[in-house]
Structure 1
Amino acid sequence: MRRKDKNISDEAIIEHILHTADICRLGLVDKDEAYIVPVNYAYSNGTIIIHSAGNGRKIEIIRQNNKAAFEIEGGYAIETGEKACEWTTKYRSVMGKGIITIVTNVLQKKAGLDLIMKNMAGARMR
């Protein structure tokens, strides 16, 4: 990171961002091409949980190459200024990489979807 003064290393702050941010951008590699897709997500016990349909480009890429990168962000606000170069966007983000595991167990899938809905809606859905 270029701006070391902006780097967040406090685990509690990182956990807070992961639990409260709005969006996750998932980075994958499709053969020799980068592919980034925004996904709904939840964070629990060191794991980022995302949803995917059973078919489509995202899941097909994951089946071929389960290595991924991600960027999660939230808390953004635009700060204005008198001149264009004084405008900026404030936000907090977490970036990382990992291995995707496709969940096949129905109970684990339901638990993951419940967590995603809690993150999005603030409550479990029926």
Structure 2
Amino acid sequence: MRRSDREITDPEEISEILEKAQVCRVALACNNEPYIVPMNFGFKDKHLYLHSAPEGRKISILHRNNRVCFEVDIETELIKSDKPCNWGMEYRSVIGSGAAVFIEDTSEKKRILNIIMKKYSHEKHHEYDENILKNVTIIKVHIEEIKAKGRI
């Protein structure tokens, strides 16, 4: 990390950023073409959880290359200055990477959907229609590297 003075190493603060962030940008690559998509997500026990329709560009890419990179940010605010080159940004962000796997087990899908739903609704358990569970794709990212930084 170029700016070590901005590095965040406290695992609790990293988890806090991941809990507060509303959108996760997931980066994928296939055949030397990058692709990035903003997604709702959950985070627990060093895993990133995503849900998706069962088809589409990201699903197609993940079947060919399960390596992902992701980014979240919170508390962003532009810092203005009289000089254009002195402008900056306040923020806290997390960038990570890992390997994605598709979850097929229905009970595991429910558990992961509850993690995602708790993030946005703060309720721990939800009821899911069996047809929805059959048709939703759940992606679990085993986080292998994670870094955070901030400027407040």
TM-score (norm 2): 0.75
What residue number does 1:110 align with?
Answer: 110
Distance 2:78 2:16 in 1: 21
- Map Cα deviations across residues 27-48 of structure 1 (whole Å, 9 max, x no partner): 1002210111111101011110
8 Å CA contact 1:20, 1:74 repeated in 2 = yes
SS at match of 1:123: coil
Q: Which has the higher contact order (CA 8 A, sep 6+)?
A: 2
What residue number does 2:91 align with?
Answer: 91
Unmatched runs of 5 consecutive residues or more in structure 2: 128-152
Distance 1:77 1:102 in 2: 36
What residue number does 2:72 align with?
Answer: 72
What residue number does 2:143 align with?
Answer: none
* Partner AA of 1:73 in structure 2: D
Q: How does 1:35-50 map to 2 (within 5 A)?
A: 35-50=35-50
Cα-Cα RMSD: 1.7
Distance 2:117 2:74 in 1: 17
Distance 1:91 1:120 in 2: 21
- Give the count of matched residue pairs: 126
What residue number does 1:20 align with?
Answer: 20
Q: How does 1:1-20 map to 2 (within 5 A)?
A: 1-20=1-20
* Partner AA of 2:67 in structure 1: K
Unmatched runs of 5 consecutive residues or more in structure 1: none
Please state which structure has a larger fraction of its residues in strand.
Answer: 2
**1:61 CA drift (Å):** 0.5
TM-score (norm 1): 0.89
**How many percent identity over aligned positions?**
37
SS at match of 1:58: helix
